[in-house]
């Protein structure tokens, strides 16, 4: 394996030794082999990702001359990809299969102009249970019933072509390994024989061992990826834990061998890294993994595979599979401490879900209990039922609506208007609420369905075969389109200031105060600083601020709840920004009443605005949980940035674990914690070559800081750095 990574390459990329280019590397004894660590360095350097090429083949004119349906075009593209996409398998790799086409990273089906599928987790658990053979039998049985319309038959036949294509791709890797085994010797030959033995039956047949299970899951996921679909993985330990337990009991595998297999899954998941800038980072391919929690019967899931995943992430610091661990009040301290220990290394790779909040929220929304217990995410952090859901979300900026109420605008086409003469605060608030409801009514009325073909993804989503309808055409058991509000903390903070300065103290009339905002606080720096220092804004466990945000929250979630299904689509409310607070929203945001100038980076997701949370992380959690988060079936996230010096040693470990327990007790949904030093980020900004693998949490994903654009880096740097014990 050493020939894969030259000393010069590792030195250039800052990946030599045990540090993997991070600020706080794992200092424990290495659990993984040297060869596996070198393979990780090779992938993390971007050398593998830079070998991706564009397809040199395409849909032929003879095929297109027959005017094939969109389903057939997509299926033919999948077939050609399976036949002709370059193969890649490095010596020593323990899993076969690679997504080698650059077009797949463009969120489209290669060889076509069709968009591909993301923001979902496909039904890998069922596919492991019945294999491709079982899925093929379901298609054949449905076609044999003879009651499908022409489009339904066309879709199912296209799905059959996709299944055949998966078999072709699989067969090419079998042949590649057979040829290498015939000509190779020594350790490489022995490894290839092990890989081939695990590869032969799966995923056509259900896996019978842990080796087969890991290989099958990789092929199921990576073939989707090769063809442009970006799916989450889902509940990795739930799917593979029973196979490992059986193998360990039978003596067929050791924990060290199993850990190496998991490590290779993680390493190969970095195959699209190029170490080049990519806007919001180089790892935003929606490939989240969910660990622990409970199964459909309510039994705890955490097992040996859970531990192995955390071992691998701790040692290799690979952020390309963001991990969300499902916890509750019964979660053992041992698991919480493992999570905390990895969080202390930085990167924000491991986040948490609160089962005790999410499961009742989902059943209250109407999901059966067994399905609610099996929740995962859409590859980011929005909660869905995996393998049964087509998901989309509709982001909007609530702060912009308040700007409109005040007659503020940064758009010349919108023009500036004087604010209406609101006689009292209630009149002003009623105008804002009316604008909010008007936007929601428009969003809730939007149709989710479209005619984009998705036969490959539809194979792994319950409902599509039975209905004869595709992923985007109402085929899945659940079609979900979730309104997601951004800027709610900023709305509440602004209303707090306006109510006090205009309607309570009378220091300003509303037109006078709006004029201050329109001038971007010019000449009013003393006032701006006074507002920033004397107001207890949301995030400080302030009764007044929390109550005002609760009012905005209740109006938003209450309206969506009353209209939670429309046009056959579920409409669960969510709160998020997903980085828009530092990008998309900046272009239309004016100065805010809470003392921020135009262009300031404000609240992320459902977290305090940077610099406004002054009383520590516990106060932030209390404010975050002061609303009824059970009204958010679409989910939300609390972002915490913790100073590394504040969580050192055993006391620091307990502080992070305590924050997680408080989050569960107070009723939070999802919390992502990044332990990172602001000064370190500034150094990494100026000297990216010294920190190539320094990862930071963005929103539902982590990314290497060096691959973020300057505006995204500034957004991360701006977050308040909390002390872990506060």
Within 10 Å of residue 427's Cβ, how many Cβ atoms? 12
Instruction: Calculate the CA 254 to chain-centre distance.
Output: 32
Give yes or no for a contact between 389 and 462, defined as CB atoms under 8 angstroms apart. Answer: no
482: left (phi over 0), alpha (psi -120 to 50) or beta: beta
Is 175 part of a structural domain of the chain? yes
Residue from 516, 716, 535, 511 nearest 613 by CA: 535
Q: Residue 658 pLDDT > 90, yes or no?
A: yes
Average pLDDT, the chain: 92
DSSP of 129-197: HHHHHHHHHHHHHHHHT----HHHHHHHHHHHHHHHHHHHHHHHHHHHHHHHHHH--HHHHHHHHHHHH
Residue from 277, 278, 283 nearest 43 by CA: 283
Residue from 313, 312, 286 nearest 386 by CA: 286
Give yes or no for a contact between 660 and 647, defined as CB atoms under 8 angstroms apart. Answer: no
Phi first, then psi, for residue 674 (nearest 5°) are -120, 125
Give CA–CA dist 549/555, Å, rounded: 10
Long-range contacts of 60-68 (CB under 8 A, 24+ apart): none
Taking only the tens place, the pLDDT of each residue in 68-81 is 999 999 999 999 99
b/e per residue 310-340 (b: at least 16 CB within 10 A): bbbbbbbbbbbbbbbbbbbeebeeebbbbbb
Is 717 part of a structural domain of the chain? yes
Q: Could you tell me the end-to-end alpha-carbon distance of the chain, in angstroms, rounded to an integer?
A: 46
Give CA–CA dist 98/91, Å, rounded: 14
My answer on whether 529 and 553 are in the same domain is yes
Give CA–CA dist 237/178, Å, rounded: 31
Taking only the tens place, the pLDDT of each residue in 183-215 is 977 778 999 999 999 999 999 999 999 999 999
Taking only the tens place, the pLDDT of each residue in 513-561 is 999 999 999 999 999 999 999 999 999 999 999 999 999 999 999 999 9
Q: Residue 722 pLDDT > 90, yes or no?
A: no
- Cα angle 154, 158, 162 (rounded to 5 degrees) comes to 170
Phi first, then psi, for residue 709 (nearest 5°) are -70, 165
Provide the greatest CA pair distance for the chain: 87
Structure tokens at 180: 């290498």
Is 28 part of a structural domain of the chain? no
For residue 270, what are the CA distances in angstroms to 42, 273, 366, 388?
A: 10, 6, 37, 27
- Cα angle 270, 113, 164 (rounded to 5 degrees) comes to 70
Q: Residue 230 pLDDT > 70, yes or no?
A: yes
Beta bridge partners of 702: 697
Give yes or no for a contact between 622 and 703, defined as CB atoms under 8 angstroms apart. Answer: no
Predicted local confidence at residue 13, as pLDDT: 44
Q: Residue 9 pLDDT > 60, yes or no?
A: no
My answer on whether 223 and 244 are in the same domain is no
My answer on whether 296 and 367 are in the same domain is yes
My answer on whether 343 and 477 are in the same domain is no
Residue from 384, 287, 381 nearest 671 by CA: 381
My answer on whether 306 and 173 are in the same domain is no
Is 547 part of a structural domain of the chain? yes
Taking only the tens place, the pLDDT of each residue in 567-595 is 999 999 999 998 888 888 988 999 999 99
Domain total in the chain: 3
Give CA–CA dist 441/237, Å, rounded: 40
Give CA–CA dist 361/635, Å, rounded: 10
- The burial of 679, by beta-carbon neighbours within 10 Å (0-12 exposed, 13-18 middle, 19 or more buried), is given as exposed
Kindly tell me the number of DSSP H helices and DSSP E strands found in the chain: 26, 16
My answer on whether 86 and 197 are in the same domain is yes
Predicted local confidence at residue 14, as pLDDT: 46
Q: How large is the average pLDDT for residues 164-171?
A: 99
Is 65 part of a structural domain of the chain? yes
- Cα dihedral 658, 663, 669, 674 in deg (nearest 10): -50
Q: Residue 714 pLDDT > 70, yes or no?
A: yes
The Cβ-side half-sphere exposure at 355, using a 13 Å CA radius, reads 24
My answer on whether 278 and 358 are in the same domain is yes
My answer on whether 300 and 377 are in the same domain is yes
My answer on whether 214 and 244 are in the same domain is no
199, 230, 261 — which closes off a domain?
230
- Range of weakest confidence among 90-99, 116-125, 299-308, 699-708: 699-708
Residue from 138, 164, 253 nearest 207 by CA: 253
Q: pLDDT band at residue 11, thresholds of 50, 70 and 90?
A: very low
230, 258, 288 — which closes off a domain?
230
My answer on whether 298 and 427 are in the same domain is no
Predicted local confidence at residue 79, as pLDDT: 99
Phi first, then psi, for residue 396 (nearest 5°) are -150, 155
197, 230, 263 — which closes off a domain?
230
My answer on whether 69 and 165 are in the same domain is yes
Residue span of the structural domain in which 444 resides: 394-567+574-632
SS3 581: helix
SS3 715: helix
Q: Residue 444 pLDDT > 60, yes or no?
A: yes
Give CA–CA dist 632/483, Å, rounded: 10
Q: Residue 1 pLDDT > 60, yes or no?
A: no
My answer on whether 67 and 140 are in the same domain is yes
Pairing state between β 478-486 and 389-397: parallel
Give yes or no for a contact between 612 and 537, defined as CB atoms under 8 angstroms apart. Answer: yes
Taking only the tens place, the pLDDT of each residue in 620-632 is 999 999 999 999 9
pTM value is 0.94
Is 1 part of a structural domain of the chain? no
Is 12 part of a structural domain of the chain? no
- Range of weakest confidence among 5-9, 526-530, 648-652: 5-9
Is 27 part of a structural domain of the chain? no
As a whole-number percent, the residues of the chain with pLDDT over 70 amount to: 93
Structure tokens at 394: 């509709």
């Amino acid at each position: 394996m050493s020939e894969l990574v030259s000393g010069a390459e590792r030195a250039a990329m800052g990946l030599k030794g045990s540090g993997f280019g991070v600020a706080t590397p794992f200092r424990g004894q290495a659990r993984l082999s040297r060869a596996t660590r070198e393979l990780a360095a090779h992938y993390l350097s971007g050398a593998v990702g830079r070998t991706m090429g564009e397809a040199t083949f395409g849909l032929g004119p003879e095929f297109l001359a027959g005017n094939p349906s969109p389903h057939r075009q997509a299926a033919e593209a999948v077939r050609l990809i399976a036949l002709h996409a370059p193969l890649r398998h490095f010596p020593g790799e323990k899993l076969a299969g690679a997504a080698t086409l650059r077009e797949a990273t463009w969120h489209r089906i290669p060889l076509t102009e069709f968009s591909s599928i993301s923001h979902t987790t496909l039904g890998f658990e069922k596919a492991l249970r019945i294999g491709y053979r079982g899925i093929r039998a379901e298609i054949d049985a449905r076609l044999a019933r003879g009651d499908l319309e022409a489009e339904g038959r066309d879709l199912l036949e296209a799905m059959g072509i996709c299944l055949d294509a998966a078999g072709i791709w699989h067969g090419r890797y079998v042949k590649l390994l057979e040829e290498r085994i015939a000509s190779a010797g020594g350790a490489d030959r022995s490894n290839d024989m092990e890989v081939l033995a695990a590869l032969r039956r799966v995923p056509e047949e259900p896996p019978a061992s842990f080796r087969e299970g890991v290989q099958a899951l990789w092929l199921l996921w990576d073939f989707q990826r090769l063809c442009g679909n970006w799916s989450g993985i889902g509940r990795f330990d739930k799917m593979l834990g029973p196979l490992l337990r059986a193998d360990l009991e039978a003596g067929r595998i050791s924990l060290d061998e199993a850990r190496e297999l998991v490590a290779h899954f993680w390493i190969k998941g970095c195959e699209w890294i190029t170490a080049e800038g990519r806007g919001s980072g180089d790892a935003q391919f929606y490939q989240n993994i969910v660990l622990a929690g409970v199964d459909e019967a309510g039994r705890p899931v955490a097992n040996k595979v859970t531990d192995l995943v955390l071992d691998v992430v701790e040692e290799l610091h690979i952020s390309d599979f963001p991990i969300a661990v499902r916890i509750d009040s019964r979660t053992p301290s041992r698991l919480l401490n493992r999570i905390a220990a990895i969080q202390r290394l930085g990167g924000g790779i491991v986040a948490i879900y609160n089962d005790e909040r999410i499961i009742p929220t989902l059943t209250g929304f109407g999901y059966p209990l067994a399905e609610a217990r099996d929740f995962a995410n859409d590859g980011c952090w929005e909660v869905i039922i995996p393998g049964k859901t087509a998901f989309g979300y509709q982001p909007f900026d609530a702060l912009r609506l308040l700007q409109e109420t005040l007659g503020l605008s940064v758009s010349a086409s919108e023009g500036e208007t004087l604010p209406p003469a609101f006689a009292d605060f209630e009149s002003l608030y009623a105008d804002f609420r009316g604008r909010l409801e008007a936007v929601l009514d428009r969003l809730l009325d939007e149709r989710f369905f479209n005619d984009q073909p998705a036969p490959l993804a539809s194979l792994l989503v319950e409902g599509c075969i039975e209905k004869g309808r595709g992923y985007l055409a109402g085929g899945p058991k659940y079609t979900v389109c979730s309104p997601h509000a951004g800027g709610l903390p900023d709305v509440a903070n602004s209303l707090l200031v306006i109510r006090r300065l205009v309607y309570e103290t009378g220091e300003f009339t509303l037109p006078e105060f709006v004029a201050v905002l329109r001038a971007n606080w010019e000449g009013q720096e003393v006032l701006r600083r006074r507002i920033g220092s004397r107001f207890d804004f949301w995030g400080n466990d302030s009764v007044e601020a929390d109550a005002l945000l609760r009012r905005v929250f209740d109006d938003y979630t209450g309206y969506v709840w009353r209209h939670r299904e429309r046009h056959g689509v579920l409409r669960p409310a969510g709160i998020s920004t997903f980085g828009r607070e530092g990008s998309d929203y900046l272009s239309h945001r004016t100065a805010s009443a809470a003392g921020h100038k135009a262009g300031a980076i404000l609240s992320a997701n459902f977290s305090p605005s940077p610099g406004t949370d002054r009383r520590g992380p516990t106060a932030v959690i209390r404010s975050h949980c002061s609303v009824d988060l059970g009204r958010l079936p679409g989910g939300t996230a609390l972002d915490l940035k913790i100073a590394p010096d504040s969580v050192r040693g055993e006391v620091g470990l307990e502080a992070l674990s305590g924050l997680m327990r408080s989050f569960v007790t107070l009723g939070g949904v999802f919390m992502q914690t990044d332990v990172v030093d602001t000064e370190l980020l500034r150094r990494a900004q100026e000297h990216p070559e010294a920190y190539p693998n320094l990862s930071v949490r963005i929103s539902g994903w982590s990314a290497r800081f060096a691959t973020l654009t300057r505006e995204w880096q500034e957004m991360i740097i701006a977050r308040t750095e909390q002390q872990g014990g506060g």
